[in-house]
Amino acid sequence: MSNRDGGQWRIYLMNADGTNVRRPYPGTHWMPRPTWSPDGNWIAFASTRGGQFDIWMVDTHGGNLTQITKTGGDHPSWTR
């Protein structure tokens, strides 16, 4: 999580050496509480995209954005 762009807190990914900084999802909404899937391929997060917090997930390549809840939620977690 970072607000390095001067805006709201967002998710950023980078290589272990700090190069190739990128956002897996370039939306402008606040994205608190990210959590990695056990296999490392997905990130679940809360977002205010629809005016309330809901849980979303996105793959680490920036595709497949999926809304998980539609009735609120702000603490995503994974189970095995």
Q: Parse the chain into domains and list their residue ranges.
A: 1-80
In angstroms, the CA 19 to CA 66 distance is 27
> What pTM was estimated for this model as a whole?
0.72
Show pLDDT as tens, one digit a residue, over the chain (80 residues). Answer: 566 667 666 777 888 898 988 777 666 566 667 899 999 899 898 887 777 888 988 888 777 889 999 988 888 889 87
In angstroms, the CA 47 to CA 38 distance is 21
